[in-house]
């Protein structure tokens, strides 16, 4: 369990990193927090011959208020997001999702950009970004482009980033007033990747759901925007009947695989239960409670 030989490049500016990626695109990988890539390299399942290490680029770590949205630098540690009052107030679903990520030592190394670029189907951030219609900023020597979350995630560990591109910034729309958010998941052990997890942001208009954004993790090849459940909930009161319909809609929409930890059928069921619970919790918080 030792990695194959590789070159370790340590840029200190984004520009330098982009040049390195341009030079080595085919054989290079970006090293962010290393929480997934390094184990894969130790198993020799990933064997990049060049690692472009972004950890010495201070310009990639920030959380900025840009009016309608928060801009989060790709190398911002999950722990920094967890500790950010700005994130908690402006993007509470991101905050709540962060609390569900692994354990403190992992959050202290892991980065938001690394998690999103790695696109593990069970990870919290991809589902969160999908639910919130976040926008990914990708840079390369060829320029910069904005990729909506809905167009970013392609499948298991796969994104629409090109091989010479680096995800540099994530733009997360601020939560509307009168909204509440909750990320709910179920894991076999505390801190594990979820068997099923759902992020919900719900805006209430009196007793009625004015807006709802839902996405699930762990129940498909990538994050799943739960459009069917959203449609059930929108403009309706959260009665037991409606919640039950949303639960069933979510279960019906996802298409999980079974593995050693849970059968496909169980994961499908959990997607529904987590949807119901996330919506209930988010709606409760929309009422002013946290």
**What is the contact surface with another protein in residues (CB under 8 A)?**
1-5, 39, 43-44, 186, 188-193, 259-263, 265-266, 269-270, 273
Q: Output the smallest distance, CB 212 to another protein, in A.
A: 21
Q: Output the smallest distance, CB 213 to another protein, in A.
A: 23
- Token digits of residue 153: 């995630």
Please state at what angle helix 124-132 crosses helix 92-99, rounded to 10 degrees: 170
The rounded distance, in Å, linking the Cα atoms of 86 and 123 is: 22
CA dihedral 266, 188, 192, 213 (to 10 degrees): 40
Pairing mode, if any, of strands 179-186 and 143-148?
unpaired
Q: Output the smallest distance, CB 48 to another protein, in A.
A: 16
Q: Output the smallest distance, CB 15 to another protein, in A.
A: 32
Inter-residue contact 134 to 173 (CB < 8 Å): yes
Beta bridge partners of 185: 197
The rounded distance, in Å, linking the Cα atoms of 78 and 102 is: 10
Q: Which is nearer to another protein, 39 or 148 (CB)?
A: 39
Q: Which is nearer to another protein, 109 or 269 (CB)?
A: 269
- Token digits of residue 263: 């059968």
Q: Which is nearer to another protein, 66 or 190 (CB)?
A: 190
Q: Which is nearer to another protein, 108 or 160 (CB)?
A: 108
Q: Output the smallest distance, CB 275 to another protein, in A.
A: 12
Q: Which is nearer to another protein, 25 or 273 (CB)?
A: 273
Identify the CA nearest to 116 among candidates 188, 35, 12.
35
Inter-residue contact 183 to 201 (CB < 8 Å): no
Q: Output the smallest distance, CB 193 to another protein, in A.
A: 8
Radius of gyration of the chain from its Cα atoms, rounded to whole angstroms: 19
Q: Which is nearer to another protein, 150 or 273 (CB)?
A: 273
């Amino acid at each position: 369990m030792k990695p194959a030989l590789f070159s370790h490049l340590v840029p200190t500016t984004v520009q330098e990193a982009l040049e390195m990626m341009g030079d080595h695109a085919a054989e290079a990988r970006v090293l962010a927090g290393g929480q997934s890539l390094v184990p894969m390299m130790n198993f020799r399942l990933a064997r990049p011959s060049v690692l472009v290490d972004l950890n010495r680029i201070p310009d990639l770590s920030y959380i900025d208020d840009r009016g309608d949205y928060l801009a989060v630098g790709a190398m911002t540690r999950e722990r920094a997001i967890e500790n950010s009052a700005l994130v908690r107030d402006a993007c509470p679903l991101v905050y709540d999702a962060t609390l569900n990520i692994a354990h403190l030592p992992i959050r202290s190394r892991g980065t938001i950009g690394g998690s999103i670029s790695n696109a593990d189907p069970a990870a919290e951030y991809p589902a969160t970004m999908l639910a919130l219609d976040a926008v990914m900023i990708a840079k390369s020597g060829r320029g910069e482009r904005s990729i909506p979350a809905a167009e970013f995630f392609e499948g298991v560990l796969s994104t629409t980033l090109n091989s010479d591109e680096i995800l540099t910034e994530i733009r997360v729309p601020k939560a509307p007033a009168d909204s509440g958010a909750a990320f709910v998941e179920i894991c076999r052990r505390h801190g594990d990747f979820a068997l099923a997890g759902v992020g919900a942001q719900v805006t209430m208009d009196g007793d009625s759901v004015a807006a709802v954004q839902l996405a699930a993790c762990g129940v498909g090849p990538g994050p799943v925007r739960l459009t069917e459940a959203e449609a059930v909930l929108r403009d309706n009161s959260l009665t037991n009947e409606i919640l039950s319909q949303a639960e069933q809609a979510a279960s019906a929409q996802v298409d999980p695989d079974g593995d050693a930890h849970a059968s496909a059928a169980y994961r499908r069921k959990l997607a529904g239960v987590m949807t119901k619970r996330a919506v209930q919790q988010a709606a409760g918080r929309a009422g002013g409670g946290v």
